């Protein structure tokens, strides 16, 4: 189960967007595994995608289509990633688009495909195509909760967020869903994320805002250090409310803050629901010389199997944290005597060793908590960054050992 409480919100409905969900039986019979988003004509769309060289066929097709026309439909299947499937995978992704296009009377290029699930297996096209009419028949502005469930794989709970802000006296609303629990170290976005706003935003500005928000949310989380072949995060502006222009810096800042908050909520939900997670961990790196070295130090600690297993065991083995910081790339000439480490409010390390005030009792008390904060001060500058992660438990191994069964 997830660390902390994950409850779907009462979603703001986005005028100009409808969502339908169906059961195609792609991996398991009877579960929702096919989702369609219908975007109003005149909407603008931006996306960020995985940088994994073995990116899935739907990622390749979605990127290509996004460059050629304004999308009208997103179609998402779970249970099969359609990745590592070669030329046949590309054919399947394009057939998916063509099938949706035929049913909705748009061009195939106006459809973006997304898949998630097992890598290396052919997409069962007959089952997917046969379920498309069912998904289209359920299109509704109120389809967010079903979509959050319909895009899940090893997630234990659906993930969603909603927000609003005032732009030039007019209310602007946002809603979004995401999925992810394992193979999480995004190199652009989350495993799958779909976000919508009713604002009017030109595509270049929308793309910029999505990239900036992604860097402050999904690109700051990690569960196991693995970047998926299928990572995709989409943002659509349906052009039904306030116009946000690049020249209106106040409006842009207000919308950006709202978008970042929503995307951080989604990103942190993924960490809380990490496969087998029992601890939610915030890693603050402070006093760095640059953002790059702060993030490198934070991610090196977050990815360390020794740190993650100590967290699971509630073992205040602070030497593992020091070892991880010490091997982080880019920290040339690190003065270890200037490094300070806090576990919660407990001072662990100063002057190159254990703090004189530290006691095992105090450290163990913090490690037993479900939510833990590590604060690492490098003593090299004024830059700070934050990364969120979780522990490694026996269940993580079991989930991934049994994933294809």
> In this structure, are residues 225 and 132 in contact, taking their beta carbons and an 8 Å threshold?
no
Q: What stretches of 273-388 show up as alpha helix (H) in DSSP? A: 291-303, 305-312, 318-327, 360-367
Place of tokens 């495909």: 113
Residue 179's DSSP bridge partners are 192
> What percent of the residues of the chain are helix, what percent strand, and what percent coil, each to the nearest 5?
35, 25, 40
Measured CA to CA in angstroms, residue 41 lies from 62, 247, 366 at distances of 18, 25, 53
Q: What are the phi and psi torsion angles at 208 (to 5°)?
A: -65, -45
Among candidate residues 190, 200, 265, 278, the one labeled active-site is: 190
Is 45 annotated as catalytic?
no
CA atoms 46, 389, 331, 350: torsion sign: positive
Q: How many CB atoms lie under 10 A from the CB of residue 369?
A: 12
Helix, strand or coil, per DSSP, at residue 46: strand
Contacts of 115 (CB under 8 A, 6+ apart): 56, 57, 58, 76, 77, 78, 80, 81, 82, 83, 93, 123, 230
Phi, psi (5° rounding) for residue 387?
Answer: -130, 145
If you ran DSSP here, which 8-state letter would residue 232 be given? E
Q: What are phi and psi of 154, to 5 degrees?
A: -85, 5
| Strand 383-390, strand 280-288: pairing | antiparallel
Residue 360 tokens, joined: 């095992």
Residue 93 phi/psi, 5-degree rounding, is -65, -40
Beta strands 200-201; 34-39: pairing state: unpaired
Here the tokens at position 29 are 């019979």
**Which amino acids are annotated catalytic?**
190
């Amino acid at each position: 189960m997830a660390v902390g409480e994950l409850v779907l919100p009462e979603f703001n409905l986005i005028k100009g967007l409808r969502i339908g969900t169906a059961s195609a039986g792609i991996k398991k019979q009877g579960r929702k595994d096919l989702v369609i988003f219908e975007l109003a004509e005149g909407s603008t769309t931006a996306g960020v995608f995985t940088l994994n060289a073995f990116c899935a066929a739907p990622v390749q097709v979605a990127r290509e289509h996004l460059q050629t026309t304004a999308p009208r439909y997103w179609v998402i299947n779970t249970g099969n990633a359609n990745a590592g499937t070669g030329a046949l995978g590309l054919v399947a992704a394009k057939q998916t688009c063509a099938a949706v296009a035929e049913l909705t009377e748009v061009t195939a290029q106006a459809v973006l495909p997304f898949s998630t699930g097992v890598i290396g297996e052919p997409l069962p096209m007959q089952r997917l195509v046969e379920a498309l009419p069912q998904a289209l028949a359920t299109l509704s502005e109120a389809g967010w909760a079903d979509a959050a469930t319909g895009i899940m794989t090893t997630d234990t709970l659906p993930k969603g967020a909603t927000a609003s802000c005032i732009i030039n006296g007019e209310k602007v609303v946002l809603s979004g869903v995401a999925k992810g629990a394992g193979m999480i170290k995004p190199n652009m976005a989350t495993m799958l994320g779909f976000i919508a706003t009713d604002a009017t935003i030109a595509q270049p500005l929308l793309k910029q805002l999505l990239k900036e928000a992604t860097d402050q949310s999904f690109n700051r989380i990690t569960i196991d250090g693995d970047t998926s072949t299928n990572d995709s995060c989409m943002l659509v502006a349906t052009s039904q409310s306030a116009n946000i222009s690049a020249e209106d810096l106040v409006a842009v800042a207000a919308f950006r803050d709202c978008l970042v908050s929503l995307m951080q909520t989604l990103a942190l939900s993924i960490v809380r629901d990490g496969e087998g997670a029992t601890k939610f961990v915030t890693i603050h790196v402070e006093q760095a010389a640059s953002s790059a070295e702060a993030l490198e130090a934070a991610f090196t600690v977050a990815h360390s199997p020794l740190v993650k297993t100590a967290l699971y065991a509630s073992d205040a083995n602070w030497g593992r944290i020091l070892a991880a910081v010490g091997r982080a790339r880019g920290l040339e000439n690190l003065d270890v005597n200037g490094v300070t480490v806090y576990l919660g409010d407990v001072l662990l390390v100063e002057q190159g060793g254990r703090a004189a005030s530290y006691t095992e009792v105090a450290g163990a008390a913090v490690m037993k908590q479900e939510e833990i904060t590590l604060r690492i001060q490098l003593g090299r500058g004024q830059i700070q960054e934050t990364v969120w992660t979780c522990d490694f438990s026996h269940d993580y191994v079991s989930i991934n050992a049994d994933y294809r069964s």
